[in-house]
Each structure stands twice: as structure tokens, then as C-alpha cells.
Structure 1
Amino acid sequence: MNIHAIREQFPILHQEVNGHPLVYLDSAASSQKPRSVIDAVKRYYELDHANVHRGVHTLGSRATDAYEGAREKVAKFLNAFTPEEIVFTRGTTTALNLVASSYARSVCGEGDEIVISKMEHHANLIPWQQVAKATGATLKFFPMGEDGRITVEDAERTITSNTKVVSITHVSNVLGVVNPVKEIAAIAHRNGAVMVVDGAQSVPHMRVDVQDIDADFYTFSGHKMCGPTGIGALYGKKSLLNGMEPIEFGGEMIDFVDLHDATWKEAPYRFEGGTPMIAGAVGLGAAVDFLQDIGMDNIDRHVKQLSAYAYDKLSVLEGLRIYGPGRDRAGLITFNLEDVHPHDVATVLDSKGIAIRAGHHCCQPLMRLLNVSATARASFYIYNTEDEIDLLADALLQTKEFFGHAIG
């Protein structure tokens, strides 16, 4: 994998920020976009734009072909059984809300359980809170080890015959742990529950096979995997999707309408009312092509190597605490520098051209579990290098020395 050649394809990386070459270490929040994705969206608007599934004219046919072609690419990328199992959404948040509102509210009731973890992003916590409040179901949480891991044994003890839904992140956006979703799915199914997976941090970095995992629903966002913002997808088993009611109503999701009633198209179209994010889907399809050209196994290997390298570099810095497991982790390091607020750390790093994330990362309950109000996070992707991690380590050492003198 030629990292230099890959970096050349990302125009945004070739700039200075605050007088320093940009070091972008915030891909867990949103990845940068390669020229091929930018050009695909530009070309669509310049040559092919029209509404989809409506007109019989040439531009309408081109737009529909591009939109449905992107669905086919995503289906193959995830190894879905059929493209009809892919629903385009605004992203992971919308997809999880769709499953919670349409599926879970119809199957959950008093005495039923919804099982999630304490490491979940708010997008995979709050929808289930709302389902529990609306239906009387109980919200349960997997136990977590000191390093943040959830074991298969803990899953066996937590999921019961009363469990209707299990929903868990594939990769934690704070701890960097990779959860055993395939094994948890098997336990859920043995107990008659469905398995929902938040793949926002996994799909960009590793090979995901939804049939092998046997997930009932799997979600991800395009903007974290080199695609545009405002586009993502929900994978759902066709039998489940076709049994769900839509939660948005309007044009193109209908089969028949009269003045007092209406019926719906089959999935995925019943969930895609109105004019969809066509250009976003086109860009997402281009992002899938880009990642597959590099190879998901190559991406997975590179990001894990960077993460291990970063762990080794940062773990020896006195006064710096890393959260989550050791070197065996996904492509991010979440940390705090003793006596320095994460926002101050991020501000100093930004003055040196280094972009990291600081805050609660949309995981406030997890922050409280870690006994902190916020953390700093450096996250890595296909365009990052070990040299950039060296710059991060040097900048953190300078930050520590600066605030040490200031406090002293």
C-alpha cells in the first residue's frame, strides 16, 4: 500500500494550518475525501442531475441508474444478499432511529428487554431509551471489563429469553475496542432477539460481511469512509424490512393512494420517501470503489499498525493516560494529559497544525464511567503516517511542558 500515492489523492491534506503542514487526526469524526469522490459528485451535478424513479427522459434515467448503481455497490461491499436490503439514510443516526421507531416499538412491551452497552454513541443509546419509555421495556447493559471489553460470557449472561433487541457498536469511537458482534448475534438469535450493529467506526476500516455476522440490521455513515456528508445506509434483512412500517410519508414510497388510505412499496423504497440525497449516494458509490481499489484488508492492517505505533509512542509519556485496551485496538487513541483540559490540549495542537478531537465524543455516560468530563482523541486512517504520529507525540510533550511551567 503506497501511502504517499494515497495522500496525493486527498486535496485537503496539501495545505498549511497555522503555519504548519496539516496533520489530520480526526477521521473518527469525519474522514477526508479523495479526488475521485469529489469528481463523482461534481460530474453528477454537471451532467446527470435529475430526480430519480420519476422521469422517463434521459437525465432521469441516468440519475436513477447512478442512484441504484450506488445501492448495488453498497450491497456488494457489505455482502448483503440483495440490493433491496440496503436503505439509503442520512447516516448512522437516522438508520438507528428508523430501526428503533419502526421495528422495536412494534415488538417491545412490558417485561421485554433491550440490551446495549455503556460505550454506545448517543445515536445508539437515546433511540433505545425512547423505545423503553414508550413501550415499558427494560433497558439492560452489558458488563464491561476494566479495558472496556465485552466478553462472550458476559453476553451469554446478559441476553435472556425476554430480550427482543440487542444493539451494540462494532467498534467503540472512544475506547477503540472491537466487539465480538458475530458471537453476540448468535446468542441474540438463540434467545429470539434481533441483532442491531452500529458500524459507523467499522465499515470504513475493515471488511464487513453482514451475512457472516448474521446481523439483522447494520448501519453506517458515508462521511466516515471517504464519502459525502448526509448519506449513509441501513442494511436490514429483507423479511424484517418488509414487515416494518415507514416513519416518513410522501412521494415515491407509496404503492397506492386514495383520499383516505394508502399502501406502501416494498423495501427499501418504503423508507425513502421524497427526493433522496442522490448526489450523496453517487459519492458514496465512488467512495466504495476507492476503498475497494485499495483493499479493505490493506486498510485494516495499516490503521491497526498506526494505532499500535501511536500506543507505543504515547503510553510512555509521563502524565498521559490512555483509555481502553492496549496495542490491540482499532484506529484511535483516546487520552488525557494530567492537569490539562482536553480542549486546551486540542487548542495547542491546532496551533501546530494538528487536528484532534476533544470533548465527550457523544458518549457522556461512558465519560462518567471513566470518571472524566471529556477526553482528547487522535484517530487514524489510510492517509496517515507514522511521521504524523511522531509529530503528535512531540507536540503533546511540548504541551505538557508548557502547561507544567504555567502551573508551576
Structure 2
Amino acid sequence: MKFFDTTLRDGEQMPGISLTVDEKVQIGMALDELKVDYIEAGFAAVSPDEAEAVRRIARDAAYAEVASLARANKADIDAAVDADVDMVHVFIATSDIHMKYKLRMTRDEVLRRIAESVEYAKSRGVRVLFSAEDATRSDLGFLVEAFKTAIEAGADEINVPDTVGVMTPSRMRYLVEHLKAKLPPVPMHVHCHDDFGMAVANTIAAIEAGAEVAQVTVNGFGERGGNAALEEVAAAARFLLGREVGLRLERLYETSRLVARLFGIQLQPNKAVVGDNAFSHESGIHVHGVLNNPFTYEPMMPEAVGNRRRIVLGKHSGRHSVEWALKQMGLEPSPELVDYILRRVKDYAASKRPVDEKALKAFVEEFRGVPVFL
């Protein structure tokens, strides 16, 4: 399977986010080093700065195929092609609600626009990805017709967007299998939004059903509830489905933190795969198991995705956690010291204060009556 990262387009459409050209290029290069297969570097028609960011990423990306979004019109397509991209991502809505209230076009008019825009983009010498916006709320027969029209006009790949996140995994599986059976064999992307918290699950279901490309964003950033998270889809595909993903998975944590910093967003600690709590353990039962064999309470090794294991001291801690923490500080965990520290940790944590290394050092000094030099 392949990954189409749209952090720099759909991700940046997150309310309140506006990246500079240099910030977009920095993220683009990080994605290229991560070895995503496609980078949607932006929407070149939006502004001169956007076009410049797209152009610089297209120039400097050594691995990924670089794309720009374009509405189904010549001006947008020209702006994308003039930014020197490898692929133009042409889209138009195919759901009745979008065609009636947004486009104010009939079905026949939409089909003509699809054919004209895809043919024009191909005449400019680029590869074309065609998206049927709001595909998952479109009439199924008309959706098939729209995709066939795009493919016959020269579209190299197609994309099935769940624009407002209304799918469930079983519905997504049915839709992908149906489209695969009805359409010529071109690569199929899926683009899932997280309005009901199922973007990753729907993406994985689509991949299991035969879709070849997952459209994702780093940290799941994007409009409203966000998009399918790159790191979660990648880890699930690799460690649950056993797929070869091609990504440098060990760079996921680092890339996640870079994007979060430049977006100005602090990640929640329990974020799957790349959160600081993703491989953290406080419960004494869990710590005992993990220290004997990590797979007792971890589904994958943290280092595989660039994260690390954290043993946290708190009200749920047991002796094994304290022994581990003392050893990490270079101290011998005698039974008497462990008993004392464990009592102090539970008392301290009850006041909702963090039991960090500074606090632990103070407890050791209390027990010994002399300073501890670390």
C-alpha cells in the first residue's frame, strides 16, 4: 500500500492554522524523508505564497511524488502545473446535496466538467488524480459513472473521499469492493474524515477491501474532527495487517512532533502510536509484565515508530516500578529503600503532583539523610 499525505493541504485547512512558506517546505522535506509516496503540497491557486511553497517542495522532494489540489477548471489546473508538480489532484463534488446547493449544476453538467478538466490536465503533461468530493453520500450509480468518465478522460488514479466522515468500516468495505468491481483497474485512494472518530478504521477497512492508497495527515490534523492519522494508519497496516508500507516508521514520532510544533498544537498524551503515554505504564501489574516481556502490554515495540517506553511513578505503582526507576538513576534498590520510596510516591501522587526524577531524588535523600549526587 501507499501513502498520500495531505498535511500541507487538508491538514492546514484546520481552523486557525496558517503556515509560512518556509514552514511548509520544512514539513514537506520531513515527509519526503519519512518516504511518503505522495505529498499534496498545497492548493497552488490559493495565493502566490501557496504556489511558491508547492513549487519549492516539488523542486526539492527527492522521493515523493508531489501534487497540488485543483478545482475542475483550467485556472486551478494551470496554477498547479505552473508550480511544477508531478500530479494534479482534480476534484468536483458528486453528491446531490453538493451539486444542488454548492455547484448549482446538473449531473450531466458535472460529468462534462469532469471530462473537460481531466482531459485538459492531461494535455498539460502531468499525472492526474481525480476525486469525487463527498463520494460517500453520492448516488452509487452516478458515482460509478463519474469515476468512469474521469478514467476514460485519462485520469491515472481515483480518490474516494468520505468528506464528512459518515462511513463505518463495513460500509467502506462494501463501497470499495463495489467500485473495484465496476471500474477499470486504476489505483484507488481513500480519504477519510474523522467526524465520528472512525477515519483510521474506515481507511484500514478500505485497504483490506482493495484500495491501494491511504490519504492521511500527520497527527490526524485537518478540518472539523480531522483526517485519518498517518501514524495510526501506518502502524495498523504494518503491525495489524502485516503490510509492507515503505515508510521509515522510526521517524513517525519525530515527524509528529515537528508538525505539532509548527501548527502550534500540543498533542494529547494518550495519542495513539506517537503520544507520550502510548508506551507509558504506571500500574504495578502492567509494569511487572512489561519489564519481563514488553509484549505483555505493548502491541509493538516503541522504537519501531520512534517512540520510547516510559515507566511512570504514581498512585498505581508497585515495587517493580520503583526498582526500575532507582536503577535508571544509578541507585541500588534495596528492599528498605524501595518500601520507603513506594510509600512516599503514593502519598505524593495523592496530592496530584507529578512524581518526577527531582521528587524521587528528594525521597532518596530523605531516606538516607544525605544528599544524592547524580
TM-score, scaled relative to structure 2: 0.28
Higher RCO (C-alpha under 8 Å, 6+ residues apart): 1
More helix by share: 2
- Indicate the structure (1 or 2) with the bigger Cα radius of gyration: 2
